[in-house]
């Protein structure tokens, strides 16, 4: 037992020399055995026990037991009391989920405190007593619940500072070891309750599979989980490569055409938003689309939860919908289509713009936004004819010294008239009799406060093509026929 666990810790690179370990000690057989084994493997140890405020006298018994056990082993113990039922009720969680959240929070806090005391740069790991049987039950549970590959990979040996040294041993091995060493443990009565799905899988489903289908069912489930885990890691890596490739392409393109916002889109990250070019996203197989969405969620909100396969499918489908279409997600998030990007962001108050198809306000699910602008720069050819198209415009690129932006109007915006004078955009919109309620929705292409183009209307005289123009910026408004007038 000791050799098997020692080898597994080394194989999975769970702890380095100088690291210390906190054992999550409930008093049950698994955690008691974990404390015993880690003690005999000569790790610097502390233990943490969480009293959940449920199970009454039984929970009090467990606390007394772990205090006596740690005193016997000379292991420092921290006991935390919390009220799981109240926490669960306040947040609409099950007691099982609430207990898990509070337990991990306490363990992480204690690990951070101890780490600050260590000298020599060692880390504090949190050892959890999940074992092989737990892993098989988890994989089967996730399969029946409709999980993706990440869930079907089962319990990971290493997650941040959390380690699981017992994934190499089973429940029977653990109890046999404790019995041989004459070490007692506490039985949690809730482990026998049929009210918990995991307990039914443990006591009814897996035994039935082993008896009626294949006595090696548990081993085969674990083997499948290992293979699925390898596939999951590979697909995560591929999504990261695609993200980075799109980012590099955007940087290279941006170095040639200095336009911000949606003009030369690449993967975009901000505290409240992650986005990827629609063209890049659409080119991927369906499975990689799902992993790109996961990658965006990981970057935006690590630890996201409650986003299911149904949500992933809906987000992928959103990429083919009109600009501004959106989808509300759990956890205060939403997905939407930008001008040339698929975006996932934290929800903020947002004012619907005029729906160009209905002439009315957009509903709660879909917002209509301005159409896409596409840009390109090329050298002027002799006798090249300037297009007379309301939604394709040419500009003298050599006159553009700053960075262009695509936005709606701001105070101080202006354009140059054929007479050489300047007119504010506000005055221009009044003169053009643009309805007041739509003026803030009209798209502008601007260099600072100087507006090159009031999209769907006119361009500034200053940026028009002249005889001496050498380089041309072409801007096309995709969907312009439904926009502006």
First to last CA, the chain: 78
Tokens representing residue 305 in the block? 């939860």
Strands 162-163 and 450-454: unpaired
Residue 361 per-residue DSSP state? B
Euclidean distance between CA atoms 266 and 145, whole angstroms: 35
Instruction: Give Dmax (Cα) for the chain.
Output: 99
Kindly tell me the sign of the dihedral angle through the C-alpha atoms of 472, 475, 481, 483.
negative
Kindly tell me the sign of the dihedral angle through the C-alpha atoms of 210, 215, 218, 223.
negative
Q: Is 29 annotated as a binding residue?
A: yes
Q: Is 203 annotated as a binding residue?
A: no
Euclidean distance between CA atoms 307 and 290, whole angstroms: 12
Q: Is 441 helix (H, G, I), strand (E, B) or coil?
A: helix
Taking Cα atoms as reference points, which of 285, 308, 288, 282 lies closest to residue 240?
288
- Contact residues for 102 (Cβ-Cβ < 8 A; gap 6+): 50, 52, 82, 84, 87
Residue 378 near residue 474 (C-beta atoms within 8 A): yes
Facing residues of 259 across strands?
404
Q: Is 338 annotated as a binding residue?
A: no
Work out the angle at residue 112's Cα, subtended by the Cα atoms of residues 9 and 3, and round it to the nearest 5 degrees. 15
Euclidean distance between CA atoms 303 and 301, whole angstroms: 6
Which residues line the annotated binding site? 26-31
Which residues line the annotated binding site for ATP? 26-31
């Amino acid at each position: 037992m000791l050799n098997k666990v020692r080898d597994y810790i080394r194989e999975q690179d769970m702890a380095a020399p100088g690291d210390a370990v906190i054992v999550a000690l409930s008093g049950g057989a698994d955690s008691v055995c974990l404390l015993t084994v880690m003690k005999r493997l000569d790790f610097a140890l502390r233990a943490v026990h969480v009293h959940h405020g449920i199970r009454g006298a039984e929970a009090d018994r467990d606390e007394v037991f772990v205090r006596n056990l740690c005193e016997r082993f000379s292991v420092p113990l921290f006991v935390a009391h919390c009220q799981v039922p109240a926490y669960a009720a306040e947040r609409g969680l099950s007691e099982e989920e609430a207990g898990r959240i509070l337990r991990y929070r306490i363990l992480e806090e204690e690990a951070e405190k101890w780490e600050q005391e260590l000298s020599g740069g060692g880390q504090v790991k949190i050892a959890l007593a999940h074992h092989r049987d737990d892993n098989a039950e988890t994989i089967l549970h996730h399969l029946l619940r409709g999980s993706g590959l990440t869930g079907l990979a089962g319990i990971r040996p290493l997650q941040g500072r959390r380690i699981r040294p017992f994934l190499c041993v089973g429940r029977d091995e653990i109890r046999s070891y404790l019995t041989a060493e004459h070490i007692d443990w506490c039985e949690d009565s809730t482990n026998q309750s049929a009210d918990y799905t995991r307990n039914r899988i443990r006591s009814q489903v897996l035994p039935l599979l082993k008896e009626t289908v294949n006595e090696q069912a548990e081993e085969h489930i674990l083997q499948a989980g290992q293979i699925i885990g390898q596939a999951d890691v590979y697909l995560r890596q591929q999504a990261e490569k695609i993200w980075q490739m799109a980012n590099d392409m955007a940087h290279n393109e941006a170095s040639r055409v200095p336009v911000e916002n949606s003009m030369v889109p690449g993967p975009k990250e901000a505290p409240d938003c992650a986005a990827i070019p629609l063209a890049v996203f659409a080119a991927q197989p369906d499975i990689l689309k799902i992993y790109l969405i996961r990658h965006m969620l990981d970057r935006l909100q690590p630890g996201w939860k409650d986003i299911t396969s149904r949500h992933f499918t809906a987000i992928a489908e959103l990429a083919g919908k009109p600009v501004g279409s959106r989808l509300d997600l759990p956890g205060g998030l939403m997905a939407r289509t930008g001008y040339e990007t698929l975006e996932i962001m934290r929800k903020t108050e947002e004012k619907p713009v005029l729906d160009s198809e209905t002439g009315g306000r957009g509903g709660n699910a879909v917002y209509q936004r301005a159409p896409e602008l596409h840009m390109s720069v090329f050298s002027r050819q002799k006798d090249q004819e300037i297009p007379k198209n309301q939604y394709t415009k040419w500009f003298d690129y050599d006159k553009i010294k700053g960075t262009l932006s695509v936005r709606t109007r701001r105070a101080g915006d202006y354009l140059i008239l054929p007479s050489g004078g300047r007119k504010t955009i506000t005055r221009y919109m009044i003169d053009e009799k643009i309805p007041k309620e739509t003026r803030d929705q009209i798209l502008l292409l601007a260099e600072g406060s100087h507006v090159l183009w009031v999209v769907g209307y006119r361009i500034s005289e200053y940026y028009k093509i002249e005889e001496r123009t050498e380089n041309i910026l072409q801007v096309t408004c995709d969907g312009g026929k439904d926009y502006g007038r």
